Amino acid sequence: MEFDRWLEDLPKYFAADNDIVMSHVLAVLSGVFPDGEDYFVRSVTAAKDRIRDPGLASDVDGFIGQESMHGREHRALNDRLGERGYPMAGISRYVRTITALRERIQGEKANLGFTAALEHYTATLAETLLGDPEARAQIGHPGVRYLLMWHALEESEHKAVAFDVYKAVGGTERMRVITMWITHMTFVLETGIWTAISLARDEYARSHPMQVAKSVWKLRSSPFASPRPVRQLFQYHQRGFHPNDRDTKDMIATWRERLFGSEGTLTDLLAS
Ligand SMILES: [Fe+2]
Ligand SMILES: [Fe+2]
Protein backbone atom coordinates (compact mmCIF):
# COMPACT_ATOMS: atom_id res chain seq x y z
CA MET A 1 0.00 0.00 0.00
CA GLU A 2 1.32 3.43 -0.92
CA PHE A 3 -1.39 5.68 0.43
CA ASP A 4 1.10 8.32 1.53
CA ARG A 5 1.82 9.20 -2.09
CA TRP A 6 -1.88 9.52 -2.92
CA LEU A 7 -2.52 11.78 0.05
CA GLU A 8 0.08 14.42 -0.80
CA ASP A 9 -2.48 16.71 -2.46
CA LEU A 10 -5.20 16.12 0.14
CA PRO A 11 -7.31 19.28 0.47
CA LYS A 12 -8.83 20.27 3.83
CA TYR A 13 -12.36 19.53 2.53
CA PHE A 14 -11.75 16.23 0.79
CA ALA A 15 -15.39 15.03 0.65
CA ALA A 16 -17.33 15.45 -2.62
CA ASP A 17 -18.27 19.08 -3.51
CA ASN A 18 -15.79 20.23 -0.81
CA ASP A 19 -18.52 19.39 1.70
CA ILE A 20 -17.44 20.78 5.07
CA VAL A 21 -19.44 18.62 7.49
CA MET A 22 -18.96 15.36 5.57
CA SER A 23 -15.18 16.01 5.57
CA HIS A 24 -15.25 16.52 9.34
CA VAL A 25 -17.36 13.36 9.90
CA LEU A 26 -15.02 11.25 7.76
CA ALA A 27 -11.97 12.73 9.54
CA VAL A 28 -13.48 11.85 12.93
CA LEU A 29 -14.22 8.27 11.81
CA SER A 30 -10.69 7.88 10.46
CA GLY A 31 -9.38 9.30 13.75
CA VAL A 32 -11.22 6.67 15.77
CA PHE A 33 -10.08 3.69 13.70
CA PRO A 34 -6.39 3.05 14.60
CA ASP A 35 -6.74 3.03 18.40
CA GLY A 36 -10.19 1.41 18.19
CA GLU A 37 -8.77 -1.36 16.04
CA ASP A 38 -5.86 -1.84 18.47
CA TYR A 39 -8.54 -2.47 21.13
CA PHE A 40 -10.26 -5.03 18.85
CA VAL A 41 -6.94 -6.81 18.37
CA ARG A 42 -6.24 -6.89 22.12
CA SER A 43 -9.79 -8.16 22.85
CA VAL A 44 -9.49 -11.02 20.37
CA THR A 45 -5.86 -11.85 21.26
CA ALA A 46 -6.82 -12.24 24.95
CA ALA A 47 -9.06 -15.21 24.02
CA LYS A 48 -6.88 -16.68 21.29
CA ASP A 49 -5.28 -19.51 23.27
CA ARG A 50 -8.70 -20.97 24.15
CA ILE A 51 -10.00 -21.27 20.61
CA ARG A 52 -10.18 -24.95 19.75
CA ASP A 53 -11.61 -24.68 16.23
CA PRO A 54 -8.56 -24.54 13.89
CA GLY A 55 -10.58 -22.69 11.23
CA LEU A 56 -11.51 -19.92 13.67
CA ALA A 57 -7.93 -19.81 15.06
CA SER A 58 -6.62 -19.15 11.56
CA ASP A 59 -9.37 -16.54 10.94
CA VAL A 60 -8.22 -14.81 14.16
CA ASP A 61 -4.67 -14.57 12.80
CA GLY A 62 -6.06 -13.09 9.58
CA PHE A 63 -8.20 -10.64 11.58
CA ILE A 64 -5.21 -9.45 13.64
CA GLY A 65 -3.11 -9.01 10.49
CA GLN A 66 -5.83 -7.05 8.67
CA GLU A 67 -6.71 -4.77 11.60
CA SER A 68 -3.04 -3.96 12.27
CA MET A 69 -2.60 -2.97 8.63
CA HIS A 70 -5.76 -0.78 8.72
CA GLY A 71 -4.37 1.05 11.74
CA ARG A 72 -1.10 1.72 9.94
CA GLU A 73 -2.72 3.16 6.81
CA HIS A 74 -5.29 5.21 8.73
CA ARG A 75 -2.46 6.71 10.80
CA ALA A 76 -0.86 7.89 7.55
CA LEU A 77 -4.16 9.56 6.58
CA ASN A 78 -4.66 10.90 10.09
CA ASP A 79 -1.21 12.56 10.05
CA ARG A 80 -2.22 14.43 6.88
CA LEU A 81 -5.62 15.34 8.39
CA GLY A 82 -3.89 16.61 11.53
CA GLU A 83 -1.72 18.87 9.33
CA ARG A 84 -4.92 20.24 7.73
CA GLY A 85 -6.21 21.24 11.18
CA TYR A 86 -8.46 18.33 12.22
CA PRO A 87 -8.15 17.38 15.92
CA MET A 88 -6.63 13.95 15.23
CA ALA A 89 -4.29 13.89 18.25
CA GLY A 90 -7.20 14.68 20.60
CA ILE A 91 -9.40 11.96 19.09
CA SER A 92 -6.60 9.41 19.37
CA ARG A 93 -5.94 10.34 23.02
CA TYR A 94 -9.66 10.10 23.77
CA VAL A 95 -10.03 6.63 22.20
CA ARG A 96 -6.91 5.35 24.00
CA THR A 97 -8.27 6.63 27.34
CA ILE A 98 -11.75 5.14 26.84
CA THR A 99 -10.50 1.74 25.66
CA ALA A 100 -7.96 1.55 28.53
CA LEU A 101 -10.76 2.37 30.97
CA ARG A 102 -12.99 -0.29 29.46
CA GLU A 103 -10.22 -2.86 29.75
CA ARG A 104 -9.71 -1.97 33.39
CA ILE A 105 -13.37 -2.28 34.43
CA GLN A 106 -14.76 -4.80 31.95
CA GLY A 107 -14.19 -8.52 31.62
CA GLU A 108 -12.95 -10.33 28.57
CA LYS A 109 -16.43 -11.24 27.31
CA ALA A 110 -17.66 -7.64 27.49
CA ASN A 111 -14.60 -6.45 25.52
CA LEU A 112 -15.33 -9.08 22.89
CA GLY A 113 -19.02 -8.10 22.96
CA PHE A 114 -18.13 -4.46 22.20
CA THR A 115 -15.64 -5.55 19.56
CA ALA A 116 -18.28 -7.72 17.86
CA ALA A 117 -20.83 -4.86 18.03
CA LEU A 118 -18.38 -2.36 16.51
CA GLU A 119 -17.40 -4.89 13.85
CA HIS A 120 -21.09 -4.98 12.89
CA TYR A 121 -20.91 -1.19 12.52
CA THR A 122 -17.85 -1.41 10.28
CA ALA A 123 -19.46 -4.24 8.27
CA THR A 124 -22.58 -2.09 7.80
CA LEU A 125 -20.56 0.94 6.71
CA ALA A 126 -18.54 -1.34 4.43
CA GLU A 127 -21.63 -2.81 2.75
CA THR A 128 -23.01 0.70 2.21
CA LEU A 129 -19.76 1.93 0.68
CA LEU A 130 -19.15 -1.08 -1.56
CA GLY A 131 -22.81 -1.56 -2.50
CA ASP A 132 -23.80 2.01 -3.31
CA PRO A 133 -21.97 4.12 -5.94
CA GLU A 134 -23.54 7.26 -4.44
CA ALA A 135 -21.88 6.49 -1.09
CA ARG A 136 -18.51 6.07 -2.80
CA ALA A 137 -18.96 9.31 -4.72
CA GLN A 138 -19.47 11.17 -1.42
CA ILE A 139 -15.87 10.47 -0.40
CA GLY A 140 -14.55 12.82 -3.10
CA HIS A 141 -10.75 12.57 -2.87
CA PRO A 142 -9.65 9.43 -4.79
CA GLY A 143 -6.86 8.50 -2.33
CA VAL A 144 -9.19 8.63 0.68
CA ARG A 145 -11.89 6.80 -1.29
CA TYR A 146 -9.49 4.02 -2.17
CA LEU A 147 -8.25 3.70 1.43
CA LEU A 148 -11.83 3.44 2.70
CA MET A 149 -12.83 0.96 -0.01
CA TRP A 150 -9.84 -1.29 0.73
CA HIS A 151 -10.67 -1.06 4.45
CA ALA A 152 -14.36 -1.77 3.71
CA LEU A 153 -13.47 -4.85 1.66
CA GLU A 154 -11.41 -6.35 4.49
CA GLU A 155 -14.04 -5.47 7.09
CA SER A 156 -16.57 -7.45 5.03
CA GLU A 157 -14.14 -10.34 4.76
CA HIS A 158 -13.58 -10.69 8.52
CA LYS A 159 -16.98 -9.43 9.74
CA ALA A 160 -17.79 -12.66 11.66
CA VAL A 161 -14.45 -13.28 13.38
CA ALA A 162 -14.85 -11.22 16.59
CA PHE A 163 -18.47 -12.42 16.81
CA ASP A 164 -17.40 -16.08 16.59
CA VAL A 165 -14.65 -15.56 19.20
CA TYR A 166 -17.23 -13.92 21.50
CA LYS A 167 -19.47 -17.00 21.09
CA ALA A 168 -16.53 -19.41 21.46
CA VAL A 169 -15.67 -18.04 24.92
CA GLY A 170 -19.30 -18.34 26.04
CA GLY A 171 -20.60 -14.83 25.37
CA THR A 172 -24.37 -14.77 25.88
CA GLU A 173 -27.12 -13.41 23.59
CA ARG A 174 -28.22 -11.08 26.39
CA MET A 175 -24.82 -9.43 26.78
CA ARG A 176 -24.44 -9.28 23.00
CA VAL A 177 -27.64 -7.24 22.64
CA ILE A 178 -26.89 -5.01 25.65
CA THR A 179 -23.39 -4.18 24.37
CA MET A 180 -24.95 -3.23 21.01
CA TRP A 181 -27.42 -0.83 22.66
CA ILE A 182 -24.54 0.83 24.52
CA THR A 183 -22.58 0.92 21.26
CA HIS A 184 -25.45 2.69 19.43
CA MET A 185 -25.53 5.38 22.12
CA THR A 186 -21.77 5.87 22.42
CA PHE A 187 -21.17 5.78 18.65
CA VAL A 188 -23.75 8.47 17.88
CA LEU A 189 -22.72 10.58 20.86
CA GLU A 190 -18.97 10.33 20.35
CA THR A 191 -19.09 10.87 16.59
CA GLY A 192 -21.48 13.83 17.05
CA ILE A 193 -19.43 15.47 19.82
CA TRP A 194 -16.09 15.06 18.05
CA THR A 195 -17.55 16.38 14.79
CA ALA A 196 -18.87 19.42 16.69
CA ILE A 197 -15.45 19.97 18.34
CA SER A 198 -13.71 19.59 14.99
CA LEU A 199 -16.08 22.11 13.35
CA ALA A 200 -15.78 24.55 16.25
CA ARG A 201 -11.99 24.58 15.82
CA ASP A 202 -12.27 25.19 12.07
CA GLU A 203 -11.82 28.89 11.36
CA TYR A 204 -13.34 28.72 7.85
CA ALA A 205 -16.39 26.80 9.16
CA ARG A 206 -16.84 29.34 11.97
CA SER A 207 -16.90 32.22 9.53
CA HIS A 208 -19.29 30.47 7.09
CA PRO A 209 -22.20 29.32 9.31
CA MET A 210 -24.73 29.20 6.43
CA GLN A 211 -22.47 26.89 4.44
CA VAL A 212 -22.13 24.65 7.52
CA ALA A 213 -25.91 24.67 8.08
CA LYS A 214 -26.52 23.64 4.44
CA SER A 215 -23.91 20.94 4.77
CA VAL A 216 -25.57 19.57 7.94
CA TRP A 217 -28.96 19.58 6.15
CA LYS A 218 -27.40 17.66 3.24
CA LEU A 219 -26.25 14.89 5.62
CA ARG A 220 -29.80 13.59 6.01
CA SER A 221 -29.88 12.55 2.32
CA SER A 222 -26.53 10.75 2.59
CA PRO A 223 -26.62 7.01 1.74
CA PHE A 224 -24.92 6.45 5.12
CA ALA A 225 -27.93 7.91 6.94
CA SER A 226 -30.58 6.15 4.83
CA PRO A 227 -32.97 3.52 6.27
CA ARG A 228 -31.04 0.61 4.70
CA PRO A 229 -27.87 0.77 6.88
CA VAL A 230 -29.99 1.62 9.95
CA ARG A 231 -32.10 -1.52 9.34
CA GLN A 232 -28.91 -3.54 8.91
CA LEU A 233 -27.50 -2.22 12.21
CA PHE A 234 -30.66 -3.26 14.05
CA GLN A 235 -30.64 -6.79 12.60
CA TYR A 236 -27.95 -7.41 15.23
CA HIS A 237 -30.65 -7.34 17.91
CA GLN A 238 -32.47 -10.36 16.49
CA ARG A 239 -32.15 -13.50 18.56
CA GLY A 240 -29.78 -15.97 16.89
CA PHE A 241 -28.30 -13.31 14.58
CA HIS A 242 -24.99 -14.17 12.88
CA PRO A 243 -22.95 -11.73 10.70
CA ASN A 244 -22.83 -14.28 7.86
CA ASP A 245 -26.66 -14.27 7.68
CA ARG A 246 -26.02 -11.47 5.21
CA ASP A 247 -24.33 -13.09 2.25
CA THR A 248 -21.66 -10.69 0.98
CA LYS A 249 -19.45 -13.28 -0.75
CA ASP A 250 -20.22 -12.03 -4.28
CA MET A 251 -19.71 -8.40 -3.29
CA ILE A 252 -16.35 -9.29 -1.70
CA ALA A 253 -15.19 -11.32 -4.74
CA THR A 254 -16.18 -8.50 -7.13
CA TRP A 255 -14.33 -5.82 -5.16
CA ARG A 256 -11.25 -7.94 -4.50
CA GLU A 257 -10.96 -8.36 -8.27
CA ARG A 258 -11.69 -4.69 -8.98
CA LEU A 259 -9.25 -3.37 -6.35
CA PHE A 260 -6.49 -5.96 -6.62
CA GLY A 261 -7.18 -7.80 -9.87
CA SER A 262 -4.61 -7.91 -12.65
CA GLU A 263 -6.48 -5.61 -15.01
CA GLY A 264 -4.92 -2.41 -13.76
CA THR A 265 -8.28 -1.05 -12.66
CA LEU A 266 -6.71 0.86 -9.78
CA THR A 267 -5.66 3.74 -12.00
CA ASP A 268 -9.19 3.92 -13.46
CA LEU A 269 -10.61 3.77 -9.96
CA LEU A 270 -8.43 6.62 -8.72
CA ALA A 271 -9.14 8.66 -11.82
CA SER A 272 -12.90 8.18 -11.52
FE1 LIG B 1 -10.41 -2.45 10.26
FE1 LIG C 1 -12.65 -5.15 11.52
pLDDT tens column, 149-186: 999 999 999 999 999 999 999 999 999 999 999 999 99
Q: Which stretch of DSSP H or E encloses residue 18?
A: none
Closest ligand, as measured to the CA of 115: 2
Q: How far is the CA of 219 from the centre of ligand 1 (A)?
A: 24
Within 10 A of 58 (CB to CB), how many other CB atoms are there?
Answer: 11
Q: How far is the CA of 183 from the centre of ligand 2 (A)?
A: 15
pLDDT tens column, 57-100: 999 999 999 999 999 899 999 999 999 999 999 999 999 999 99
Distance CA 105, CA 98 (A): 11
Within 10 A of 27 (CB to CB), how many other CB atoms are there?
Answer: 29
Contacts for 113 with CB less than 8 Å, ≥ 6 apart: 166, 171, 175, 176, 178, 179
Q: How far is the CA of 31 from the centre of ligand 2 (A)?
A: 15
Q: Where are the domains of the chain?
A: 15-271
Contacts for 131 with CB less than 8 Å, ≥ 6 apart: 251
- For residues 34, 188, 144, 40, the Cα torsion angle rounded to the nearest 10 degrees is 20
